[in-house]
Each structure stands twice: as structure tokens, then as C-alpha cells.
């Protein structure tokens, strides 16, 4: 359930001032506040850019559940870099640790074989 009331209280926006920022009518903000309407994706995006939190938007429980899935671009980049570093380290370790070195067996001694052909006496 969408709840805009706590955002309005925290920021000091009125229906009119928020409507002006969002380029919509104060009546639409009133409908959000009375929970008679739910904002479109575009309006939710605008509210988030204006600083509305997930907690304010959908409540604490929803925020806790979405926290598991929502990451910032920086967090995702850090995870990708960390993964890349770990893979690189593992490859270097495998190469340096001899995992790919050929393990050769000592060669068998070469015996000369005398031929049974005519020999010089």
C-alpha cells in the first residue's frame, strides 16, 4: 500500500508544492495521500529522486524485504570487481602452483639392442 503522508511530513512539502515539483495537480497528490490512487512508475521515480524512501513509500516491512534485492550501482560494481579479482587470483594460483605443469615420469633407460646380424670377429 502506497503511503505519501510521512514523506510530506518529513520534507515539509504541501500538496501544492509537491505537485508543482512533480508537474501534476495538487488533487493527484491528495489522492495519493488518501490512498485513492497509486502513482505511476514515472511518478514513483520522481518521488524517489525527490528523496522519498522505500520505507515512506511502502512501509518498513516492504523496505526490509526489498533491501535484499536493491543495490546501488556502486555496490554492484564493487561486487563485480571483487569477483574479477578473486577469479584472477585463483588463475594465478593455479598457474603458479603447478596445476597445469606437465608432470613427466623419469624416462626408462635406453638399452642398446645388439643386432643378430653378422658380427665382425
Give the model confidence (pLDDT) of 12-37 as tens digits.
Answer: 999 999 999 999 999 999 999 998 98
Asked if 56 and 47 touch (Cβ cutoff 8 Å), the reply is no
Q: Model-level pTM? A: 0.51
Give the per-residue pLDDT at 29. Answer: 95
DSSP state of 80: H
Give the integer Cα–Cα distance in Å for 73 and 121.
Answer: 90
The per-residue pLDDT for 30 is 94
Mean pLDDT score, 102-109: 54
What is the per-residue pLDDT for 92?
Answer: 72
Amino acid at each position: 500500500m502506497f503511503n505519501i503522508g510521512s514523506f510530506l511530513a518529513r520534507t515539509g512539502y504541501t500538496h501544492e508544492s509537491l505537485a508543482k515539483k512533480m508537474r501534476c495537480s495538487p488533487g493527484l497528490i491528495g489522492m495519493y495521500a488518501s490512498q485513492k490512487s497509486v502513482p505511476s512508475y514515472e511518478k514513483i521515480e520522481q518521488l524517489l529522486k525527490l528523496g522519498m524512501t522505500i520505507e515512506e513509500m511502502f512501509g518498513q516491512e516492504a523496505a526490509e524485504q526489498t533491501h535484499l534485492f536493491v543495490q546501488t550501482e556502486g555496490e554492484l560494481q564493487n561486487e563485480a570487481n571483487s569477483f574479477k579479482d578473486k577469479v584472477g587470483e585463483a588463475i594465478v594460483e593455479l598457474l603458479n602452483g603447478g596445476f597445469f605443469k606437465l608432470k613427466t615420469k623419469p624416462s626408462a633407460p635406453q638399452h642398446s639392442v645388439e643386432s643378430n646380424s653378422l658380427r665382425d670377429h
